[in-house]
Structure 1
Amino acid sequence: MSDAIQPGLRGEIGLVVAEEHTAQHLGSGAVRVLATPQMVLLMEQASVAAVDHLLPDGYCTVGAHLDVRHLAPTPEGFEVRAIAELSEIDGRRLTFRVQVFEAPFGEDQLVGEGIHRRAIVSLQRFGDSVAQKAAEAL
């Protein structure tokens, strides 16, 4: 693919936890803390930020696997940051170590961690495959 995609690449994304990011709002629980689905989204977005801008035109990555632990609750108003580091490349398969921290950022503020795998795909071929599947379902 691209010689620029090498282990060690990092992507980061952050947000301030608002009501729409909470478990209560998203339906994943009854409490007003950072929802696990929102934490997972941040992990995926950080992984995308690490590599997708380095891919040739017409290519992107898609999520293929996620194994995470949500370690601590984060209340509304707190800032969190997801960090993804590319740890392994196997052809078109990319493996990331993902972590989410709350401010002040540091190892003692670890909210979640895990492994995320993504696959590099051709937008055209992927789109064609999805369209064919949809047409067959009709």
Structure 2
Amino acid sequence: MEMDFNLSIGMSAEVGITVELKDTAVSFGSGGVKVLATPMMIGIMENAALKAVDTNLPEGYATVGTHLDVKHLTATPIGMKAYAEAELIKIEGKKLTFNVIAYDEKEKIGEGTHTRYIIAVDSFIERTNEKLNR
């Protein structure tokens, strides 16, 4: 049974932060420099993708990230704003593909694609929790 998830190509959202010490490579353990960590940049990219579509889904449904293909192009210092934009570019049933781009106040800092899947929250959590009993 194919369900209508009320999504369309071109849906988009933007998420921003001001880089703090907790957002840096040193804090994440992903590097030795106090600049925006790649995992944090990826996090705001994923959050933008989620915000682009999740509010349109029926009650009881959400999306989960499953794949990223992202380049981190340049560093962003503490105190500078960084933001990510996500645009839905492909819908294949429950598989959603996004174009993601991140910027700071001066330039583009990252770009790539991100895949998310639509899930029924209750059954997803139930299946995940079954791992505890295996």
Q: Normalization by structure 2: what TM-score?
A: 0.95
Q: Which runs of 5 or more residues in structure 1 are unaligned?
A: none
* Aligned position for 1:21: 23
**1:119 paired residue number:** 117
The question of whether the paired residues in 2 share the 8 Å contact of 1:2 and 1:54 is answered with no
In 2, Cα distance between the equivalents of 1:3 and 1:121? 11
CA shift, 1:4, in A, is: 3.1
Q: Percent of counterpart pairs with the same letter?
A: 43
Q: Secondary structure at the match of 1:74?
A: coil
Give the Å deviation of 1:3: 5.4
Unaligned runs of 5+ in 2: none
- Counterpart for residue 103 of structure 2: 101
Determine the C-alpha separation between the residues in 2 that align with 1:63 and 1:119.
7
Structure 1 runs (4+) deviating above 2 angstroms are 1-4
TM-score, normalised via structure 1 length: 0.92
CA distance in 1, matches of 2:23, 2:64: 22
TM-superposed deviation, 1:2:
3.9
The aligned residue for residue 6 of structure 1 is 8
C-alpha separation in 1, matches of 2:40 and 2:5: 32
Secondary structure at the aligned position of 2:31 is classed as: coil
Distance 1:130 1:90 in 2: 24
Q: Distance in 1 between matches of 2:70 and 2:59?
A: 31
